[in-house]
Amino acid sequence: MSEGREQPQRPARRHEPESGAAAVRRLRIGAGALLLAVGTAYFLLPLEGLGADRPWLGGSLFVLCLTLVATLLLRHVRDIVLERPQARSGIMISLLMCLAVLVFSSGYYALAQQPGQFTGLRTRVDALYFTVVTLATVGYGDITPRGQEARLVAVVQIVYTFVFLTAAATALSRRMHAVVAERERRPPPSS
């Protein structure tokens, strides 16, 4: 700066808080992008290497991922039960439920690489299909767990669904009812 001349000072920019609708929109976009990335990773990651060659690695990753998803689900369920207004748990619960399905699908696909574990499960789409059919308790019978490990993982999925995904779906439903009731109580915008 030259002497005698002062730079005019600009007022500090205030960081205005984001509106609730804008924050939700950003969260939805982020959750959608994350789900797309995880879904793409499911089809691109070398899950074959977690099967017959290194079953201990596949099993460890499977348990670690399920534990992480369950922990996050319970945290968001807690936020809804405690009615924390700042929580955006509805979107996160939906994302985590989808993630749980992909974790089980990955586990089934890796397990199917071991001889004798499954009949009819050959592709990642087969694994995703089997996961959804098991989740929905439909059981068409075209893919069957034959080995003890495959049957154990199917039982784990049923119990996991019963405990964690049912709690998450119940909390999500409760949250949606609260949001609808709150919107109905608001007066209509004046014109």
Which two tokens mark 126?
A: 């087969």
Return d(Cα 73, Cα 171) in angstroms, integer.
10
**Model confidence pLDDT, tens digit, residues 147-181:** 999 999 999 999 999 998 888 888 888 878 877 88
**pTM for this one?**
0.78
For residues 88 and 23, the answer to whether their CB atoms sit within 8 Å is yes
Are 154 and 94 within 8 A, CB to CB? no
DSSP 145: E
pLDDT in tens, 44-86: 988 887 766 676 777 888 999 999 999 998 988 888 888 776 6
CA–CA separation, 182 vs 89, rounded Å?
Answer: 16
Strand partners, 45: none
